[in-house]
Amino acid sequence: MKKSKSGKEPKPGKLDKGAYYEKLAALQLELNEVARWLQHTGKRLVVVIEGRDTAGKGGVISAMAETLNPRQCRTVALAKPSDQEKTQWYFQRYVPHLPGAGEIVLFDRSWYNRAGVERVMGFCSKEEVKAFLKQAPVFERMLVDDGVLLFKYWLTVDQAQQEERFAERAADPLKHWKLSPIDVKAREKYAEYGLARDAMLEATHKPRTPWTLVDFNDQRQGRLTLIRHLLDHIPDRHVPESVVTFPPLEHAPLREKFGASPKPIAPAA
């Protein structure tokens, strides 16, 4: 079995890290092409990433945004609503985060919190869930009617894989922040989350605003599959790339105005 650059052998059936980064780099070049096309045309792109805890939402969003201009590509991951926001129309707190011309917004969870976490954990009423499932397709149709390119992805992960990732987070001090009290409680409601997901898909999977399910049991392969799908479903995006040229300097740079340049600090021990 071929080893990765780290010297570790990949798990059986898992994508090797070296091969993953090679394929990801090629996709990231295409994502930058999409970004240039959006700026050229003024189009707006929204990507909704949903899935169970530990599915890999943050990882795929990071892979997509890593090489893009942060002024153009924004990640939106809202905290729980404030007391004031709880009194607003449910979709109201998400509207200010929608993209303007040429922008990309990646939702790390989205308005679909109501159909998942809020429903399963009892943070909203049955009437509120029913109203959401009725209004969400209308809200999304308004977005696409206005020209927004909307893509909705659900990351699927088996319970055994989810348990393994929970254990990894608990054992790694750098990943403790990924485990909240809600995550611990939600772990016991795997079946309830499945039923909520199915009801959500049935109500909100529409011809113009469909859901795409992506297998994320192998997160590396899942990221590549999702990004490839997104690229394949964006319209003709070719825009001639402008070439930046640097004219030669006419003179040597002037010395610092305030005397000798400061000395660099010593490397950390």
Q: What is the CATH number of the domain that holds 160?
A: 3.40.50.300
Residue 8 falls inside a structural domain = no
Residue 263 falls inside a structural domain = no
Label residue 1 by pLDDT band (50, 70, 90).
very low
Residue 5 falls inside a structural domain = no
* CA 52 – CA 156 distance, rounded (Å): 7
Q: How far is CA 63 from CA 15, 75, 77, 220, in A?
A: 16, 12, 16, 10
The overall average pLDDT reported for the chain is: 89
Residue 143 falls inside a structural domain = yes
**Residue 260 token pair:** 């000798």
DSSP assignments along 158-192, one per residue = -HHHHHHHHHHHHH-GGGGGG--HHHHHHGGGHHH
Q: Distance of alpha carbon 194 from its chain centroid, rounded?
A: 21
**Residue 87 token pair:** 């009194």
Q: How far is CA 223 from CA 21, 24, 46, 65, 215, in A?
A: 11, 8, 17, 12, 9
Q: How far is CA 137 from CA 86, 89, 91, 226, in A?
A: 21, 15, 12, 22
> Residue 252 above 70 pLDDT?
no
C-alpha dihedral (51, 221, 62, 23), degrees to nearest 10: -160
Residue 40 belongs to what domain range? 17-232
Most confident of 2-16, 102-116, 148-162, 255-269: 102-116
Label residue 189 by pLDDT band (50, 70, 90).
confident
Residue 1 falls inside a structural domain = no
pTM of the entire structure?
Answer: 0.85
Q: Give the chain's domain count.
A: 1
Residue 259 falls inside a structural domain = no
* CA 37 – CA 136 distance, rounded (Å): 28
> Residue 94 above 90 pLDDT?
yes
Res 12: pLDDT:
62
Residue 171 falls inside a structural domain = yes
Residue 30 falls inside a structural domain = yes
* CA 14 – CA 218 distance, rounded (Å): 6
> Residue 184 above 80 pLDDT?
no
* CA 254 – CA 60 distance, rounded (Å): 45
